[in-house]
Structure 1
Amino acid sequence: MDTIEVITMYFSDDGNIPNHPSLPVLIYPGVLRDRAGQTESIFNRNNWGNSWQNGVFDYHHYHSNAHEVLGVMKGTATLMLGGENGKQIEVGEGDVLVLPAGTGHKKIHASSTFKVAGAYPGGMDYNIKACESSERPDVLKEIQDVPLPGNDPLFGKDGPLMDHWNIR
């Protein structure tokens, strides 16, 4: 496998969005640029299932019971990762983001053609949490209990996720 560019980002709990206490967000810029239309099937082949195609919600939310991969199939968008005090990033066709459980994400704006595929390791079911203070401390324990994936969503057992999340 050629060297794949991977950007890592860590986010702290901001009191509303827990983020993950130890795992970084991974961004693979442009990795599927030439195969963006195959994004969902690539995830599925690498055992990231329960997949879908659509957009990203325009409010801060996170999943406390599953890690998530998002692959931009078309268009561009500005996403906010990590909650109100997080970081805005620009994404475009072929970009892939791996969000560990608890990571806040929100669409700030997007082109009219913006479309992503999303999936979860092992096809896990996922919840949608929207920063309710009454959900704590249950969500914090739930985030810690989410198992590590068995595969990188793009490259299987040999992918960069395995090293960045210390799975090997």
Structure 2
Amino acid sequence: MEATLKTLGLAPEEGGPLMPERLTFADDGGIPNTRLPTLLFRSSGVEPGLDRNAVADCFEQLFARHGWRPSWRGGVYPYHHYHSIAHEAFGVLSGRGSLRLGGEQGEDVDIRAGEVLVLPAGTGHCHRWASDDFLLLAAYPEDQRELDLIRDEPAEHDAAVARIAKLSRPEHDPLGGELARWWP
């Protein structure tokens, strides 16, 4: 695992734990967001010479080993949406892009190859821009096999909040850290 993290530019400095940036977003009445922080694991850069299929293999192995089922490769929809029955993780396979997190009044976050984003259920996300080679791998906790897609809809809000409250939390983040450390 250490070698794979190093290959992706995610090896922790000085042997300590891998520390993510933690971002929180307020409920805006349409997109619930959550008190749980979105986690952004920054990469120092993937090993030179790796193509996106090799990066995908690394992420698929890491994510699966830690209870996050790799699901699809692609981009993010260009409209604000969230999921109420699954947490979601993205591994950036290639390129660079920017996502608006937290809804229309949220924050733009730039991501690049090798980085990992973990969105707790309810967190709004939307594609802002991307390089031509931008590609993500999405993964979901093993016990969260279904995926809904809810747009910024106040009429859906309360039912979605109730579903999110019942959702389990994985033991580990997709890179193997204790998730309870970030999601108390």
Q: Which amino acid aligns with 1:33?
A: V
Q: Is the CA contact (8 Å cut-off) linking 1:32 and 1:39 kept in structure 2?
A: no
Q: Which residue of 2 aligns with 1:36?
A: 55
- Identity percentage of aligned residues: 39
Q: Which of 105, 114, 129 is 1:109 aligned to? A: 129
Q: Which residue of 2 aligns with 1:152?
A: 173
Q: Which residue of 2 aligns with 1:27?
A: 40
TM-score normalised by L of structure 1? 0.89
CA distance in 2, matches of 1:32, 1:127: 32
How far did 1:83 drift?
0.4
- 1:9 is paired with a residue whose SS is strand
CA distance in 1, matches of 2:128, 2:100: 7
Query: Structure 2: 5+ residue runs without aligned partners?
Result: 1-14, 48-53
Q: Is the CA contact (8 Å cut-off) linking 2:31 and 2:154 kept in structure 1?
A: no
Q: Which amino acid aligns with 1:24?
A: P
How far did 1:145 drift?
1.1
Equivalent pairs counted in the alignment come to: 162
CA distance in 1, matches of 2:134, 2:71: 17
Residue 8 of structure 1 pairs with residue 22 of structure 2: yes
Query: Structure 1: 5+ residue runs without aligned partners?
Result: none
Residue 78 of structure 1 pairs with residue 74 of structure 2: no
TM-score normalised by L of structure 2? 0.82
- 1:152 is paired with a residue whose SS is coil
Residue 55 of structure 1 pairs with residue 68 of structure 2: no
Compared CA separation, residues 144 and 32, structure 1 to 2 (3 A) = farther
Q: Which residue of 2 aligns with 1:165?
A: 183
CA RMSD, Structure 1 to Structure 2 (Å): 1.7
